Structure 1
Amino acid sequence: MAASQEDVKLLGVLGSPFVCRVQIALKLKGIEYKFVEENLANKSDLLLKSNPVHKKVPVFIHNEKPIAESLVIVEYIDETWKNNPILPSDPYHRALARFWSKFIDDKVFGAAWKSVFTLDEKEREKNVEESLEALQFLENELKDNKFFGGEEFGLVDIAAIFIAFWIPIFQEIAGLQIFTSEKFPKLYKWSQEFMSHPVVKEVLPPRDPLFAFFKARYESLSASK
């Protein structure tokens, strides 16, 4: 079945790293889809019906069958459309890709977020430490490869878009030095390479409105101290 005959929808919000992951996968595969923008303060019936468990975006709807959670969606897209593979064909390397993608969600995302959007100073320091430790693991894992997936980017790279694009915004707002070229030269070089890839460039949200959004959030948090 050609991609154009498929009914493909993506429920999301602009500026979400999780939604961006799915958009990168869709763009890489050349899949046409309808983007349905959600208002998370007033969630649509379609979102609530499609993801009753988490009530969150992204939700991918393929021929009226909904799938939630960004990494699950990316794997589904990879299994459904075979061109430009995202996961390795070797079972061991597939397992490793899943491990490191989950590691990014479990160990990097929360700690980096709380490093900025936490009032408690001690809590913030603890989260900065955890972020640095997690990024060091990824720096070591990257070795001397261009991408985590080798010469072409894959699942781990897509999962790590949060590190490449969102963390630099967060640390600039909060005046932190978490992800720098001095601390993590390989990872930093990877991030520049990944963000300048034509597929990724096309789906990255505009930086300025995103920066303004998170800066306002950070300042209102600081003001409530």
Structure 2
Amino acid sequence: MQKGVEELLGYLKVLERELGDKPYFNGESFGFVDIALICYYSNIIAYETLANFSVEKHCPKLALWATQCMKRESVSKALPDPNKIYDALIAYRKKTGIED
């Protein structure tokens, strides 16, 4: 699982570099790239719990961006609960016999 975590963090670091110091990928305004990427937020939070890592620790600017996006009602109401995704991941792992 550690190899997968390192790979995911590598991708997230690329996104963080593209974000830079801007509040959103489009600069000051929430745009299409933000919409496309924030859809993965709940999954990433679930993976953090499952694999015991922290996006905030490794990609603080990206974590801040996600927090900013989640303050938007249109985003927070549209995304699934990360706890439900985590529970589904655990159930899938048990059903398929996936172990570390």
Normalised by the size of structure 1, how large is the TM-score? Answer: 0.39
1:176 maps to amino acid: N
Q: Deviations over 1:48-93 (max 9, x none)?
A: xxxxxxxxxxxxxxxxxxxxxxxxxxxxxxxxxxxxxxxxxxxxxx
- For the Cα contact (< 8 Å) 1:146–1:190, is it kept in 2? yes
Q: Deviations over 1:111-137 (max 9, x none)?
A: xxxxxxxxxxxxx44332221221111
* Cα distance in 2 between the residues matched to 1:125 and 1:198: 34
Report how far residue 185 of structure 1 moved.
0.8
Structure 2's unaligned 5+ residue stretches are none
Report how far residue 214 of structure 1 moved.
2.1
- For the Cα contact (< 8 Å) 2:46–2:83, is it kept in 1? no
Q: Residue 46 of structure 2: which of 150, 162, 169 is its match?
A: 169
Partner-residue secondary structure (3-state), 1:153 = coil
Partner-residue secondary structure (3-state), 1:205 = coil
Normalised by the size of structure 2, how large is the TM-score? Answer: 0.80
Structure 1's unaligned 5+ residue stretches are 1-123
Q: Which has the higher contact order (CA 8 A, sep 6+)?
A: 2
Residue 201 of structure 1 aligns with which residue?
Answer: 76
* Cα distance in 1 between the residues matched to 2:40 and 2:59: 12
Q: Tell which deviates more after alignment, 151-160 or 211-220.
A: 211-220
Residue 182 of structure 1 aligns with which residue?
Answer: 57
Residue 215 of structure 1 aligns with which residue?
Answer: 90
Q: Deviations over 1:141-193 (max 9, x none)?
A: 11111111122211211121244221111221x2331x421211100000111
> How many residues of Structure 1 are paired with residues of Structure 2 in the alignment?
99
- For the Cα contact (< 8 Å) 2:43–2:85, is it kept in 1? no
Identity %: 31
Alignment RMSD: 2.1
Matches within 5 A, 1:1-225: 124-172=1-49, 174-177=50-53, 179-221=54-96, 223=97
- For the Cα contact (< 8 Å) 1:136–1:184, is it kept in 2? yes
- For the Cα contact (< 8 Å) 1:164–1:192, is it kept in 2? no
Greater per-residue helix proportion: 2
